[in-house]
Amino acid sequence: MKNKVPTERSNSAEGKIISSAETLKKRQEGRKNEQARNEDDKRGRKGAKRKFIHVKMSKEAQEEMKKMEGASSERGWKSKIEAMQKKEGADDDVPAVVGIGDEGFLMTKNCFYWKKYGGTKQLTIHNNTDTIHAIKIKSSDNALYRITPPMGSVLPSETYTVKIHRTHAPIKPDKIIVISVPTVKEERYLEELFDSPFVPNSKLSITQIVEAGNNIPAYHAPCAPEGASCLKFSAVKLAFNGEVGGDQNLRITSAMAVRIGFKVQCTDNRLFLFRPVFGIIEPKETFRIKVTRSPHPRKRDKMIVCATVLKGEKESQLPSMFLKKGLSITELCIPLTCH
């Protein structure tokens, strides 16, 4: 028994030592494993953070790119229209394009020029938004203008083409109205959509101007009875030497028994000078307008004569009178060419 006790104690001590060593080793291995896990976690967190930041930046970049692309598209669309607006040459050479944007309409030209015998014009409507738009085109005289198609829908980034035909008829002041209504789908009952007073819409007015002639018949009573002579022009166009410019005179004779007030304008006041800009043609009298052109080798233009019957107004009142809305005006076009 005595021999066994020390042996048991010895074995017990050795077991404790071994156990302590194993425990220490396990603890050290545990610490190493924990440190390794911590390092992995740190690396993982850093990697995840970098990855997260990278993804976040990528999304932001994508959004910015979309915005930039949208802005670029918007600028590109506007720049194209502005380029067409500034295109040198007669206005009738510029294609009629209406752009629908988030801020409303933008158009290459605000009027159509017609020959005395009428003709056909094309109007292209481009939807530069991400919303479907219902379109309606109308005039005040369906017997004078035929619009095909008068109504329809245009999808985002798509175009809608309209043909406008003017019959052979005497001069009548008129406007083509373009109405646009945003909608969530292609409407089947467009007329009801445009008739609703609760639906917001955008409107664009396009003035119709007829080429002048030596003997202009009137179409409606404010100027003269139908078929009667209204105004006679000394020339149907004015030609200039583009390199040197120069002066031309245009004489307008009234065949009316009433006083006619007029206003003269063009699209480029730096190139052409009119004297006078406003004036009164007395009954059965002739009025002379001097047109001065500055040197420019290529550019052509249109001289627009706006005429209206006066009701006792004086010449000093004409500038403010022509600014009034609803004033009945006959607009006549004199081409200004160069050679």
Report pLDDT digits (tens) over 103-113: 778 888 878 88
Specify the pairing of strand 216-217 against strand 229-233: antiparallel
**Residue 62: band (very low, low, confident or very high) from pLDDT cuts 50, 70, 90:** very low
Q: Please report the pLDDT score of residue 213 as a whole number.
A: 66
Q: Which of 278, 234, 229 is nearest to 256 (CA)?
A: 229
Residues 6 or more apart whose CB falls under 8 angstroms from that of 209 comprise 111, 112, 113, 114, 302, 304, 331, 332, 333
Residue 297, SS3 per DSSP: coil
Residue 181, SS3 per DSSP: strand
- Quote the CA–CA distance of 213 and 333 in Å, as a whole number: 9
Residues 6 or more apart whose CB falls under 8 angstroms from that of 144 comprise 166, 167, 169, 172, 174
Which helix (H) or strand (E) segment is 305 a member of? strand 301-309
Q: Please report the pLDDT score of residue 60 as a whole number.
A: 42
Sign of CA dihedral 339, 121, 220, 261: negative
Q: Is the predicted pLDDT of residue 338 greater than 60, yes or no?
A: yes
Alpha-carbon distances, residue 331 vs 89, 116, 265 (angstroms): 20, 13, 10
Q: What average pLDDT does the chain have? A: 74
Q: Please report the pLDDT score of residue 162 as a whole number.
A: 93
Q: Give the model confidence (pLDDT) of 188-208 as tens digits.
A: 667 777 877 777 788 888 877
Other beta carbons within 10 Å of 286: 12
Q: Please report the pLDDT score of residue 14 as a whole number.
A: 53
Measure the CA angle with vertex 87, ends 86 and 93; round to 5°.
Answer: 130
Residues 6 or more apart whose CB falls under 8 angstroms from that of 9 comprise none
Measure the CA angle with vertex 163, ends 160 and 166; round to 5°.
Answer: 155
Q: Is the predicted pLDDT of residue 16 greater than 60, yes or no?
A: no
Specify the pairing of strand 272-275 against strand 286-293: antiparallel
The DSSP symbol for 63 reads H
Specify the pairing of strand 330-338 against strand 202-211: parallel
Q: What is the CA radius of gyration of the chain?
A: 40
Enumerate domains of the chain plus CATH numbers: 88-211 (2.60.40.10), 216-338 (2.60.40.10)
For the chain, the residue count is: 339
Q: Please report the pLDDT score of residue 65 as a whole number.
A: 36
Least confident range of 18-27, 54-63, 251-260: 54-63
Q: Please report the pLDDT score of residue 249 as a whole number.
A: 94
Q: Is the predicted pLDDT of residue 169 greater than 90, yes or no?
A: no
Q: Please report the pLDDT score of residue 56 as a whole number.
A: 32
Higher pLDDT, 184 or 42: 184
- Say if CB 194 and CB 134 are below 8 A apart: yes
What count of Cα atoms within 13 Å lies in the side-chain half-sphere of residue 286? 7
pTM: 0.52
**Average pLDDT for 268-289:** 92
Q: Which of 303, 306, 318 is nearest to 267 (CA)?
A: 303
Specify the pairing of strand 216-217 against strand 151-154: unpaired
Q: Please report the pLDDT score of residue 206 as a whole number.
A: 82
Q: Give the model confidence (pLDDT) of 209-250 as tens digits.
A: 777 766 655 444 344 455 455 788 888 889 998 888 999 999
Specify the pairing of strand 111-114 against strand 202-211: parallel
- Quote the CA–CA distance of 163 and 147 in Å, as a whole number: 6
3-state helix, strand, coil in the chain (%, to 5): 30, 40, 30
